[in-house]
Amino acid sequence: MLLKKPILIGIAGGSASGKTTIAQMLYEAFEKTNSVTIIREDDYYKDQSHMEFEERVKTNYDHPLAFDHDLMEKQLRDLMDNKTIEKPKYDFTVHNRSKETEIIEPREVILIEGLFVLEEKSIRDLLDIKIYVDTPYDVRFIRRMKRDIVERKRELDNIVEQWLKTVRVMHEEFVEPSKKYANIIIPEGGSNNVAIDLLITKINSILLK
């Protein structure tokens, strides 16, 4: 049973910047210790079961209001209070929350990754370490295109239209400005091995205290 307050590490950055990759690499580095867990902001997209699929497609998923940050904050506070949570899961193929949920138990280190974890003050204020992943537009677009085609079964025209109409615009309005809150800025995401090694060393020092 945890007795001390967990350390919360926020990992923000643009779409396909490498946030998820970094979080997963850090998680895997400590997987055997069972001391680190990941909370993904994407799972807190608002439930849209009341809408038809054709309407859900039109939602601006790159705006902070697309997320239920109130629920996310509550569940993070529950984890900080050593309580187990039942986290929602999101299904990108249907643009809605999955009927399945995920049980997350408290851990000594909680990694929180997502577009707006530094932009959203209620979440940002909970963080002990704030990281921003800074990756160029062209690299992010190529990564997102490949991911959305393979993993999310999206059409190329839809991917390009969404990037131009919402992803890029919302990045410039909300995500990029949140970089000023970061303690650490990591260029190029998961390919930055030096930064990953430094973070692993930092987390290890936290766990040894």
Bridge-based pairing state of the strands 7-13 and 184-187? unpaired
Q: Return the minimum-mean-pLDDT range out of 7-16, 21-30, 102-111, 146-155.
A: 146-155
Query: How far is the C-alpha of 5 from the C-alpha of 177, rounded, in Å?
Result: 29
Burial (CB count within 10 angstroms: exposed 0-12, middle 13-18, buried 19+), residue 134: middle
Give the side-chain half-sphere CA count within 13 A for 8.
24
Instruction: Please name every residue paired with 203 in a beta bridge, in sequence order, or none if there are none.
Output: none
Q: What is the mean pLDDT of residues 137-165?
A: 90
Per-residue model confidence as pLDDT tens digits over 46-79: 999 898 988 888 889 999 999 999 999 999 999 9
Per-residue model confidence as pLDDT tens digits over 173-199: 999 999 999 999 999 888 899 999 999
User: In CATH, what class is 7-208?
Assistant: alpha beta
> 2: pLDDT confidence band, cut at 50, 70 and 90?
low
CB 9 within 8 A of CB 175: no
Largest CA distance in the chain: 52
Please say if the pLDDT value at position 1 is more than 60.
no
Instruction: Please name every residue paired with 184 in a beta bridge, in sequence order, or none if there are none.
Output: 131
Instruction: Please name every residue paired with 110 in a beta bridge, in sequence order, or none if there are none.
Output: 8, 37
The helix or strand, by DSSP H or E, that contains position 159, with its residue range, turns out to be helix 156-162
Predicted pLDDT at 4: 80
